Structure 1
Amino acid sequence: MNTLIAVIVIFGLLVFIHEWGHLIFAKRAGILCREFAIGFGPKIFSFKRNETVYTIRLLPLGGFVRMAGEDPEMVQIKPGYEIGLFFNDSGKVNCMIINNKSKHPGCKVMQVEKIDMEHDLFVQGYVDDSEELITYQIDEKAEFVHDELATQIAPYDRQFSSKTVGQRAVAIFAGPMMNFVLAVVILMAYALIAGMPVDEALVGDLTDDGVALEAGLESGDRVLSIDGENVTTWEDMTSIIQDQPNENLQFEIERGSDQFEVNIVPQERIGAEDEVEGVVGIYPPTEKSIGGAIAFGFTQTYEYTMLIVEALGMLVTGQFSLDHLSGPVGIYNYTGEVAAMGILVLFQWAAILSVNLGIINLLPLPALDGGRLIFIGLEAIRGKPIDPQKEGIVHFVGFALLMLLMLAVTWNDINKFFL
């Protein structure tokens, strides 16, 4: 249950922040955002605020912001249609009933001759079987209702395609960018709570089963030398300890105004590269400061970014196999393991996932934000947009291939963890 809660909270936050980035910068550009969704599939919960419908959907596999003009309108009003009209106080049409007009008594029925809901915003036709051709102006925020579902019209200046290359690029890039911002904020919070490592030869916390505690070391002790070799930094001290497992080492310790010597034999453990190294059971000293936390947030996010980019490079060059990739099942399993290690480790894991989501979305692949940025870049170079139908086909094929990859990775996770 703890794993499920951790996964819902972390993934919900990552997806929310990503899509919120798209939403905020699209709205700043004047784009009509029809829907802000967390998840895919059938709606579980929804409400409308400031032109946008906010929804939570059944399948928690991501999210989306549906911007006007990205897809063709589901309903088009053509000449010959009979529609019901309602008007606002200024006499402009503010609601058009496409069907089920009997459920909306009081509407004025018009047989449409001509309509423009993008540029000139008018509807022209015959009202109540009259032979007189009448023209009404349409309000820029008018809605049309089809099957009792109301949808706001999207004049061309509110559509995604009407905006400049820069505005569209920023709206797309804002999603991944917000994932990096979130990682920085999470790591800043981590540093303020746990403190930041200090590169000094000081004893921080001690493990309950370590040889340093048995030898009488205490938190705050300063290590002056080991076997006669002076040490001033944490790296100096740990490198000597790691290089000499099972060796009797003489530590010169400073505690307050006292100095004394103590012998410690580092224990063996298997290091990151499967090499034997020595440990004595101490943690690095830490400090807490706002300035340090800000610096830690940015530097650690940069380091995570470089590690993930390096891993992707190894994947492309074949040094890293697909068997090492994990999908939703694998991430769920790892999140459970991390959650068991405590909230601070979970903070770091959430930051890594956020950076990973940002980088993956920036890959120049169809259906991802990076792929869409490529098309916008090509438009900037060519001076005209790519054919929307051709771009749509590329994104559709790319999305299908991504789904196949997701299925393959998920099957790999199932074999790895459950079979």
Structure 2
Amino acid sequence: MQGLITFIAIFGILVIIHEFGHFYFAKRAGILVREFAVGMGPKIFSHTAADGTLYTLRLLPLGGYVRMAGWGEDKTEIRTGHSASLSFNEKGLVSRINLSDRVVDQTALPIAITSYDLEDSLEVMGLVAGESKSYAVDQNATIIEEDGTEVRIAPLDVQYQNASVWGRLMTNFAGPMNNFILGIVVFTLIAFLQGGVRDYTSNTFLVADNGPLSQAGLSGQVTIYQINHQPVTDWESLSQAVQAGGSTMVLELSDGDGTSKKEVTITPKQEDDRYLIGVSPDLKTGFWDKLKGGFAMAWESAFAIATALKNLILKPDVTKLGGPIAIYQMSSSAAKEGLLSVLTLMAMLSMNLGIFNLLPIPALDGGKILLNIIEAIRKKPLKQETEGYITLAGVALMLLLTIAVTWNDIVRTFF
């Protein structure tokens, strides 16, 4: 249960932060956000805000979305002859079109819709008691879809494709950007919670409990000058000296106060082909050290993820990919290890999500950004049909990738 709660919390925070970036900048660009959803599948909670945006919490904690109005993003289709009911405001304009049999309003006007235009002329036509009628629709009217979801209609002036190209580009980039910001904030929080950041430039180290140096009677801080007469000046030179040291090592060192040097002979612990002497880098504990350390950890994480993606592209191997099941397993392990492990996993996944979404695949934010850049260079958008084919190809690729990742998760878990 602890692992499941951790998984839902991490996944939920990542999704909310990512989608809030799209949401905020879409509104700044004048795009109507019809729905902000956390989770997928059937909705279990909904609230319509004063600005017309529907906020929903859905059953499956496996994602979320921002539903922006416009071509290629979101449209509500009404079948010809569909039975509906119309509600009117004080100006006599249609304020709500109800297509659902789950919501009943006894004061609404029943109508069999024959045609409609909810983008330009804002009118709906249909048969009322066998007579053809036409009604003007309010700019801010809502429509109750067949599943009971009530959202704003989307006139052309608030649709995605009618925002400026730079407004759309920023809207698409804001999701990954928020993931990078979250990663930096969480890594910085980790630096403060653990009391500092590791100092890889010093030859002063912290002795680990129950390690070879601890068993030799040392504790706290030690300054190591040589290992088997090989100089130690920082973490990298220590690692090289340890790996070259063999099964017995003579260390020249001093305790934390650095007042006197002495020689200590130890037998290192061997794991696979590595030797361990039981030390970790010392910590920098200054305020600015912690702040800079958060940025440094975020950069190192992003660089490692980008390198892994590059290697995966150059040498494709889908067996190295993991999906929700793999993330759940990592969340369970992190939950057992404590808060710092959970935060570290969250920060790394946030950086991962940001980088992955910037890949120039049409179904991802990076693909949309690429189309925005092409439009800015051409000074005109691609044809809707062309963009539709490109997006469809991206969706097909992502579907195949999702199947492969899910299969990998199943194989790792059950076989």
Asked whether the 8 Å contact 2:357–2:364 carries over to 1, the reply is yes
Asked whether the 8 Å contact 1:245–1:277 carries over to 2, the reply is no
Instruction: Single out whichever of 231-240 and 367-376 deviates more from structure 2.
Output: 231-240
Aligned equivalent of 1:182: 182
| Cα 1:221/1:31, change in 2 over 3 Å | same
Aligned residue for 2:280, secondary structure, equals coil
How big is the shift at 1:218? 2.5
Amino acid at match of 1:279: L
1:321 aligns with 2:322: no
Asked whether the 8 Å contact 1:224–1:254 carries over to 2, the reply is no
The C-alpha deviation readout for 1:309-333, integer Å capped at 9, x for no partner, is: 2222222222x52222222222322
How big is the shift at 1:191? 0.5
Superposed, which structure 2 residues align to 1:89-238 within 5 Å?
A: 91=91, 93=93, 95-97=95-97, 104=105, 117-119=118-120, 138-145=137-144, 150-194=150-194, 195-198=196-199, 199-204=201-206, 206-226=207-227, 231-238=232-239
Aligned equivalent of 1:400: 396
**Aligned sequence identity (%):** 35
Q: Distance in 2 between matches of 1:172 and 1:140?
A: 26
Superposed, which structure 2 residues align to 1:256-405 within 5 Å?
A: 256=257, 258-270=259-271, 276-318=273-315, 321-405=317-401
Aligned equivalent of 2:8: 8
Asked whether the 8 Å contact 1:85–1:110 carries over to 2, the reply is no
Asked whether the 8 Å contact 1:197–1:286 carries over to 2, the reply is yes
Q: Distance in 1 between matches of 2:130 and 2:326?
A: 65
Asked whether the 8 Å contact 1:192–1:289 carries over to 2, the reply is no
Aligned residue for 2:37, secondary structure, equals strand
Amino acid at match of 2:18: H
Amino acid at match of 1:35: E
Aligned residue for 1:258, secondary structure, equals coil
Amino acid at match of 1:351: A
The C-alpha deviation readout for 1:105-126, integer Å capped at 9, x for no partner, is: 6567999999764456577999
Q: Distance in 2 between matches of 1:34 and 1:184?
A: 30
Q: Distance in 1 between matches of 2:313 and 2:238?
A: 38
Q: Distance in 2 between matches of 1:127 and 1:324?
A: 60
1:73 aligns with 2:75: yes
Asked whether the 8 Å contact 1:243–1:277 carries over to 2, the reply is no
Aligned equivalent of 1:246: 247
Asked whether the 8 Å contact 1:22–1:171 carries over to 2, the reply is yes
Asked whether the 8 Å contact 1:39–1:57 carries over to 2, the reply is yes
Q: Distance in 1 between matches of 2:110 and 2:332?
A: 60
Superposed, which structure 2 residues align to 1:29-44 within 5 Å?
A: 29-44=29-44
Amino acid at match of 1:200: S
How big is the shift at 1:31? 1.2
TM-score scaled by structure 1? 0.84
How big is the shift at 1:167? 0.2
How big is the shift at 1:36? 1.0
How big is the shift at 1:363? 1.0
| Cα 1:287/1:142, change in 2 over 3 Å | same
How big is the shift at 1:371? 1.5
Q: Distance in 2 between matches of 1:351 and 1:80?
A: 48
Any gaps of 5 or more consecutive residues in structure 2? none
Aligned equivalent of 1:60: 61
| Cα 1:115/1:255, change in 2 over 3 Å | closer
Asked whether the 8 Å contact 1:200–1:232 carries over to 2, the reply is yes
How big is the shift at 1:352? 1.4
Q: Distance in 2 between matches of 1:269 and 1:221?
A: 21
Asked whether the 8 Å contact 1:169–1:376 carries over to 2, the reply is yes
Number of aligned residues: 409
Amino acid at match of 1:375: L
Q: Distance in 2 between matches of 1:415 and 1:127?
A: 58
| Cα 1:346/1:99, change in 2 over 3 Å | closer
TM-score scaled by structure 2? 0.85
How big is the shift at 1:257? 6.7
How big is the shift at 1:76? 5.0
Aligned residue for 2:181, secondary structure, equals helix
Asked whether the 8 Å contact 2:169–2:372 carries over to 1, the reply is yes
Asked whether the 8 Å contact 2:94–2:135 carries over to 1, the reply is no
How big is the shift at 1:235? 3.4
Q: CA RMSD in A?
A: 3.5
